[in-house]
A and B are shown apart, each in its own frame.
Chain A
C-alpha cells in the first residue's frame, strides 16, 4: 500500500526498515464531533515520524488512538504486521509502545529513580511472595533493572537528581525524566507528545539532541507531535500534516513544506 515497501538508507546513514505501525482509515468521534476523519498513515521502523498541524487538528487524539487511550469508531491499527485487537492502555504498553505527555505525567511523590524504575515494570515478573521476602528473583530483577535504568540516567545526564523527589524538579528536568521513564521500557515505538512545549531555545536544543541520539543509538522508532516548525523539519524523516481532523499532507519535510494545502492551513485561508 506504500510506494516505499522496502527498507532504505537515509542521507545521514540510518537504515529505515519496513512498516512498524500501520493506521488504516481511522475515524474517531466524540459524540457529534469528528476529531479524526478517515486518516491513514504508517510509521516505519527506525524513523522519526512527526505529526503536525494547527491547534485542535486532532494530533493528540491520534497519539491517544495509537497508545490505546481512545478507541476509534472506524479503522484498523496494524502493529508489527498484525491487526491490533481492542486493547486497554496497559496492554498496549506491554506490546512495547511507550509515550510521554503534553502535560507532564510523572509520579510526583516518588524519586526520579523510582519514576524511571516504573518504566521497567513490565520486565519485572517476580511473584508477590518473592517480593515479600526480597530474595531470589525479586532481588535479582531489582538489581538488573536498576543497572538498565542507570544506563538511561547516564544517557540523559540526570545522575545528580536520581534521589530527588520529582515534585521538586524544574519543568525542563521533569520533561527529561519523563523521557527517561519512557526510554527505560525499551520501547519499540516511542510516542512524544510535544516534547519541547514550554522550553527555551537551549532546552529545545538539548531535547532535540536527545531525541536524535535515542533514535540513532537504540534505533528506536519515534512518533512525535511538535509545534516548533524548525525543530520538526530538522528532526523528522517524514511528516504527517493534520488540519480539522483530516490529513492534508504526508511526506518528507521538503515535500510538506511545498504543499499548498499545508501552507494554507498554517497561514489561515478560509475553509469552504
Chain B
C-alpha cells in the first residue's frame, strides 16, 4: 500500500546497487534533506539548537563512527569518549596554532589525527577479541583522558586546565565562540553529518564494507578468501576514529565551547555512544541516527513530561531516565539485537503488504 514496488524494475547493476533502491524511499530521503537544509535553519532558536539539534547531529556522527567499528567490523570499543577527546584537543591546538586557517579544515584534520590515534589503539585487536578487546579500549579511554589532564601543552597551560574555543568564521558567519548564531552552529553540524553519512554508507556498501562484515561474521573464513585481518581491523579503527574525531571536534568547538576533559569526554560518553549504537541498530547507518535521536530526545522528553507537566522533583526525573535507558538496553539486547533500524525494516516489510498481509 505505502510501498509501490510493482513496476520498479532494475535494468542495471548500478540501479540495483543504490542506497535506496525503492523509489518511495528515495523521495523520502530527499524530503528529509530538504526540510533539514531549507526549513529548520529558518525556524531554529537557541533552545532547539542547543537542547536537540546540535547534540543530535554531533552524536549521530559519533554513532556512525562507532557503528562502523562495532556494528560492521564486530570490534567492541569503549574508547569513544577518549577518541572524541583526541578530536577536540587536536581541534583546539590547531585553532590556536593556526588562527587564519578555516575551521572546517581544522575539524577534518582533527579527524585525521584521531584516525591515527585510533589505529594505534586498534593494534591489540589482532590478538584479542570481544570482551577482552573492550577492556583494552577502555585503557585507551582512561589513558587519553589522563593525558589531556596531565600534559599542559594540550590545553596551552591555561590556569583552569580547560580548553575554550576562540571565535572562528565560515565566510562571514561565526560558527564557534559566544557570538555564533544557532542556525550557523546547526548548519555546520548538518553539513558534516550529511557528508559523513554518505561517506560511511558508500564505504560500508562496497568492498571495504564486505571485508569488515566478513571479519565480523567469521574471521577465519575471511582470511581464507584473501582478507588481511590486521589491515582490515586497523582500517576499521582508523575510519571509525576519523568520524569520532570529527564529532569530538564539533562537540568541543561548536556545541560546548569550553571543555574540561574528564567531564565532557569521560567513560559515560563512551557508554552513551555505545548505547546509541545498540539501541539504534548495529550495522546500520540509519540506526546510528535513530539511536542518537532517541538518546538525545529521551532526557528532553522526560524532563518535559516529568518536571514541566507532572511537577516531579528533578532528581527523580534524572534517575528515572537512567532506569529507562537501562531497561531499554536489556530489552533491545534480548528482543531485537539489531535495534530500532530492524524495527523500522520490519515495519516497512509490513507496510508493503498492508492492509492485505496475505
Q: State the A residues within 8 Å of B (CB).
A: 67, 69, 88-90, 93-94, 98-99, 101, 105-110, 114, 117-119, 121-122, 124, 126, 128, 131-134, 138-139, 141-143, 146-147, 150, 181, 185
Shortest Cβ distance from residue B11 to the other chain A in the assembled complex, whole angstroms:
13
**Contacts A107-B214, A143-B14 given; 7 further ones with Cβ under 8 A?**
A90-B227, A107-B218, A117-B210, A121-B225, A121-B227, A143-B13, A185-B226
**Which one of B14, B199, B217, B223 lies within 8 Å of A110 (CB-CB)?**
B217
**Interface digits, B192-204 against A, CB 8 Å rule (1 contact, 0 not)?**
0000000100110
Whether, in the assembled complex, B318 has its beta carbon less than 8 Å from a beta carbon of chain A, the answer is no
Docked-complex contact B218 and A90, CB < 8 angstroms: no
Rounded to whole angstroms, the CA-CA distance of A131 and B212 in the bound complex is: 14
Contact flag A118-B223 (CB < 8 Å), given A105-B218, A106-B218, A128-B203: no
Docked-complex contact A133 and B199, CB < 8 angstroms: yes
Task: Give A191's nearest chain B residue, CB to CB.
Answer: B224
**Interface digits, B226-243 against A, CB 8 Å rule (1 contact, 0 not)?**
111100000100010000
Rounded to whole angstroms, the CA-CA distance of A139 and B222 in the bound complex is: 23
Q: How many A-B residue pairs have CB under 8 A?
A: 103
**Interface digits, B252-278 against A, CB 8 Å rule (1 contact, 0 not)?**
000000000000000000000000000
Whether, in the assembled complex, B17 has its beta carbon less than 8 Å from a beta carbon of chain A, the answer is yes
Rounded to whole angstroms, the CA-CA distance of A122 and B223 in the bound complex is: 12
6 nearest CB pairs, A to B: A93-B226, A105-B221, A107-B217, A134-B202, A146-B13, A124-B207
Rounded to whole angstroms, the CA-CA distance of A106 and B229 in the bound complex is: 16
Chain A neighbourhood of B206, CB < 8 A: 126, 131, 134, 138, 142
Whether, in the assembled complex, B216 has its beta carbon less than 8 Å from a beta carbon of chain A, the answer is yes
Rounded to whole angstroms, the CA-CA distance of A135 and B283 in the bound complex is: 23
Contact residues, B37-64 vs A (CB, 8 A): none
Shortest Cβ distance from residue A172 to the other chain B in the assembled complex, whole angstroms:
19
Chain B neighbourhood of A128, CB < 8 A: 203, 208, 235, 239
Docked-complex contact B224 and A67, CB < 8 angstroms: yes
Shortest Cβ distance from residue A234 to the other chain B in the assembled complex, whole angstroms:
28
**Which one of B13, B224, B239 lies within 8 Å of A99 (CB-CB)?**
B224
Chain B neighbourhood of A105, CB < 8 A: 218, 220-221, 224
Chain A neighbourhood of B229, CB < 8 A: 90
Shortest Cβ distance from residue A69 to the other chain B in the assembled complex, whole angstroms:
8
Docked-complex contact A93 and B224, CB < 8 angstroms: yes
Contact flag A121-B210 (CB < 8 Å), given A108-B217, A131-B203, A139-B14: yes
Task: Give B235's nearest chain A residue, CB to CB.
Answer: A128
Rounded to whole angstroms, the CA-CA distance of A138 and B17 in the bound complex is: 12
Task: Give A119's nearest chain B residue, CB to CB.
Answer: B225
Docked-complex contact B218 and A89, CB < 8 angstroms: no
Whether, in the assembled complex, B302 has its beta carbon less than 8 Å from a beta carbon of chain A, the answer is no
Docked-complex contact B225 and A181, CB < 8 angstroms: yes
Shortest Cβ distance from residue A135 to the other chain B in the assembled complex, whole angstroms:
9
Rounded to whole angstroms, the CA-CA distance of A141 and B207 in the bound complex is: 9
